[in-house]
Amino acid sequence: MILLTGATGYVGGRLLRALEERGERVRCLARRPEELRPRVGPHTEVVGGDVLDPQTLPPALAGVELAYYLVHSMGSAGSFEAEDRKAAAAFGEAARAAGVRRIVYLGGLAQDDDLSPHLASRLEVGQILRASGVPTTELQASIVIGSGSLSFELVRALVERLPVMITPRWVSRLAQPIAVEDLIAYLVACLDRPEGRTEVFEIGGADRVSYEGIMREYARRRGLHRYMIRVPVLTPRLSSLWLGLVTPVYARTGRKLVDSMRHDTVVRDDSALAEFPLRPRGMREAIERALVNEDLEFAATRWSDPLSSAGPQPPWGGARVGSRLVDSRVVEVPVPPAQAFRPVRRIGGATGWYYGNSLWRLRGFLDLLGGGVGLRRGRRDPERLAVGDALDFWRVEAVEPDHLLRLRAEMRLAGRAWLQFEIDGADASSTIRQTAVYEPAGLLGLAYWYGVWPVHRLVFAGMLRGIARAARS
């Protein structure tokens, strides 16, 4: 039996999927088990408990052979060092009492004496777990590159939103970023380590690169031109407040993260390469894979929000999902799915867009003036669509008969856009879900989305009403 702490976190959630795919028996410890249970596999157990509450640990650790400790308190409003210390001591003592054979801990990569409080606490947690008497494997990692990771989202927000960046000295510090897939592979490989050993491994990707280099590579991948102006003095507190204004990272967490960035986080002991059958990828491939995987995960998403035709309007500008802006609307129609999908599959071309066709023609004309394709392409067949078909200034990206149509925009835009329709239901009742998605490229892309939002909101709402009318007729 494997106990996984931190399963609701970024790394823990991905590790859980990897363990389930491997067929391991997994038990997850969660403070709110009711929120985690719907997200685990049928054979995974979820128990309530908290590493800061020692009384909840013995039941969770009963029968456990290996425990993953993926807990830290960087987001705490109080003394996160004291909380980390207390939690690690309680967990180590409970693991020893339960006869756990190994603890696997993910810590931070640092070697300097003058460490930030965050990095010092991560190292101290590893020392406490090793001192518990339970054989412990500690993996010390630099920043993690993967869609959704704190470091990657920080880089993304800065590069996407700031064409000119005033950068402090810490952007020149070296890191050895590791792709999240490689980090998960290391954690899973710890299952096969010889028993009875206490060991510490420094792990990182194939490249040593500055934070400025990471930002420049992300900008290159996104086709953005960014200028960075170095300033000699910008304290961690000022940096964190600045991050709180321009990124999704809260100033409190950003301050602890930035404080850690004043240290190099590179691998100096490469024994992990000899002990593990893994060869981590480089920074460029890690960023590329993060963006590709994000697209795949996003494409697989079914947008089922609680909106209905009688419900509240979406928030101004739509909802945010990562770097994307999403406007999702739902309407119910008293017809079977095949009939509800009929107007969707006929959309565009001679049929038009069910609302504001003059506005669509104006948008097509402006696209032509800007060197785009406009609306002149129409569609190949008035009744049938196939993946790859041109549809006015869209391209069919996915189609499932009587269920789904997803279009990718090919008009001139400061970013990327999709329009998706989903039909769900049975017999004589169906739900039509219409979702517009926009991934802005920098400030120009954000200005475009919010500048035309009043028109978009009018058109999106009217289009869905028009499709519903056509489905009922």
The CATH number assigned to the domain holding 43 equals: 3.40.50.720
pLDDT tens column, 131-184: 999 999 999 998 899 877 777 877 877 787 778 877 777 778 888 999 999 999
In this structure, is residue 14 part of a structural domain?
yes
Is residue 307's pLDDT more than 50? no
140 and 248 together in one domain:
yes
Asked which of 252, 270, 296 is the last residue of a domain, the reply is 296
340 and 361 together in one domain:
yes
373 vs 91, more confident: 91
310 and 190 together in one domain:
no
pLDDT of residue 373: 83
* Total Cβ atoms within 10 A of residue 452: 12
- The answer to whether 391 touches 349, Cβ cutoff 8 Å, is yes
Please list, in sequence order, all residues whose beta carbon lies within 8 angstroms of the beta carbon of residue 382, skipping any fewer than 6 positions away.
346, 349, 350, 351
315 and 228 together in one domain:
no
Closest CA to 239 of 325, 149, 170, 317: 170
Token readout for 437 is 């998605």
Which of 90-94, 105-109, 153-157 is predicted least confidently? 153-157
Q: Alpha carbon 322 to chain centroid distance?
A: 6
273 vs 250, more confident: 273
110 vs 138, more confident: 138
pLDDT of residue 32: 87
Q: In angstroms, rounded to a whole number, what is the distance separating the alpha carbons of residues 74 and 6? A: 13
15 and 133 together in one domain:
yes
pLDDT of residue 325: 85
264 and 314 together in one domain:
no
pLDDT of residue 232: 66
CATH code at 415? 3.30.530.20
Supply the mean pLDDT for the chain.
84
266 and 332 together in one domain:
no
pLDDT of residue 251: 44
Asked which of 296, 330, 352 is the last residue of a domain, the reply is 296
Among residues of the chain, what percentage have pLDDT more than 70?
A: 85
Token readout for 113 is 């004496």
159 vs 127, more confident: 127
In this structure, is residue 404 part of a structural domain?
yes
pLDDT of residue 309: 31
pLDDT of residue 114: 57
446 vs 96, more confident: 96
310 vs 97, more confident: 97
Q: Which domain holds residue 400?
A: 306-472
343 and 395 together in one domain:
yes
174 and 246 together in one domain:
yes
CA angle, 419 as apex, 465 and 225 as ends, to 5°?
Answer: 140
191 and 256 together in one domain:
yes
pLDDT of residue 308: 33
- The answer to whether 73 touches 256, Cβ cutoff 8 Å, is no
134 and 212 together in one domain:
yes
In this structure, is residue 221 part of a structural domain?
yes
pLDDT tens column, 42-86: 999 999 999 999 999 999 999 999 999 998 765 554 567 888 899
Q: In angstroms, rounded to a whole number, what is the distance separating the alpha carbons of residues 149 and 180? A: 8
pLDDT tens column, 244-266: 555 554 444 555 566 566 678 88
pLDDT of residue 97: 95
473 vs 100, more confident: 100
Number of independent structural domains in the chain: 2
